[in-house]
Amino acid sequence: MATSEPDGPIVIVGGGHAGAALCAALAAAGLGSRTHLVCAEQDLPYQRPPLSKAFLKNPGEAVQLHRHEAWYAESGITLHRADPALAIDRAARTLTLRSGAVLRYGWLVLATGAAARTVPALPASLANVAVLRSAADALRLRSLLDAARRVTVLGGGFIGLEIAATAALLGKSVTVLEAAPRLLQRSVSPELAEHVLNGHRAVGTDVRLGVAVSDFAVEGDRLVALSVDGRRELVELLVMGIGATPETSLAQAAGLACDNGIGVDAWLQTSDPSILAIGDCANFPEHGTGRRLRLESVQNANDQARTAAATMQGRPEPYRAVPWFWSEQGSMRLQMVGLMPPDARRVRRPGPTPTSFSLLHYQGDRLACVESVNAPLDHMTARKLLEAGRSPAPELAADPAVPLKHHL
């Protein structure tokens, strides 16, 4: 655990959840006057999860800001908006922005996030092809959805399925194309994936699994057709939800160690101890196992921001937060806590309604992960159980007559 300039400026690159949460932690510690926030976007930091749900559904819905501009001024935080970072000079401890401004840092925090993955065979900026990562993306997609009757979603991950559910609620004809043999293959259990599949099909969404998509036909600035398992299909609007790649170009150009993200230690310091990385772009060691992880979630961004703030204040604690995730897809609210081991044993716990249940996953006798559908109380209790390291006996946990909180 190394230190940097304890009284030097703190420069944060990235205006997403991680950057915003770090600003809040530093302001609470009285360090706002030392803090600079560098944002590539003109917008103030905003909430991103609603972009694929309420924001797309409601034309009058505005972007939800983390904090209003006055808060940053009152906290003493200097904002650099629409002025992306271009280069890090590690020897001089400076960051150069597109405007030509050069910021000196004692600590530099990279919260650069991730970018939507695209299809190399498709030209950029097609008029009827969209991704969703930013508010600008969401505004454009909202307009495209309003005009479209048929929507094709490429990818059966969280973002793709959330957009598919929203489009279906808007009355669109929706097709989801997934190359893997099941939905959410890297994120949830087969049992939960099957439930999600049935939920989407029940509202009329055409979900196709294990398909090969190729032969993209472009006319002018529009994608007009693609091939699905060798069969040509017309396209009115294509939304790409095929995952994201960590934004590491700034770190790589500066010579920092990167591998599926910017490599950090347990205190979120990179291979240069005066530079930290947090959020979607950070590849960190899991507490207790040491295996390397990169997580894309609001929880991870918020908790890593607190760890980074503690590191910079000279009271370091290793990052050990229990990960949790959530997704809203139509009438299904999915909530997951913990990371599922490959050899997990599943126990199903019925919920209070026919459409609610939880899946408890054990590694041996240890509760490792809980997936809940429309069962928020189970989810909140499961988070407390995992944080406390408690594992109720499987046969007791499966009994819906015994509240999970009984095992705390």
* 295-342 pLDDT, tens digit each: 999 999 999 999 999 999 999 999 999 999 999 999 999 999 999 988
Which residues lie closer than 8 Å to 118 by C-beta, 6 or more apart? 124, 131, 240, 242
Give 328-341 pLDDT, tens digit per residue.
Answer: 999 999 999 999 98
Q: What pLDDT is attached to residue 92?
A: 97
Q: What residue ranges do the domains of the chain occupy?
A: 10-115+244-312, 118-240, 331-407
Q: Assess whether the region 10-115+244-312 and the region 118-240 belong to the same CATH fold.
A: yes
Mean pLDDT of the 330-359 span: 94
User: How many angstroms separate the first and last alpha carbons of the chain?
Assistant: 34
Give the integer Cα–Cα distance in Å for 300 and 322: 9
Would you list the DSSP string of 225-252?
A: EEEETTEEEE-S-EEE-S-EEE--HHHH
Q: Which CATH architecture has domain 10-115+244-312?
A: 3-Layer(bba) Sandwich (3.50)
Mean residue pLDDT across the chain: 95
Cα–Cα distance between 89 and 102 in angstroms, integer? Answer: 10
Predicted local distance difference test score (pLDDT) of residue 151: 98
β pairing state of 292-293 and 85-89 = unpaired
User: Which CATH architecture fits 118-240?
Assistant: 3-Layer(bba) Sandwich (3.50)
- Residue 225 backbone class (left: φ over 0; alpha: ψ -120 to 50; beta: rest): beta
Instruction: Give the CATH superfamily of 331-407.
Output: FAD/NAD-linked reductase, C-terminal dimerisation domain (3.30.390.30)
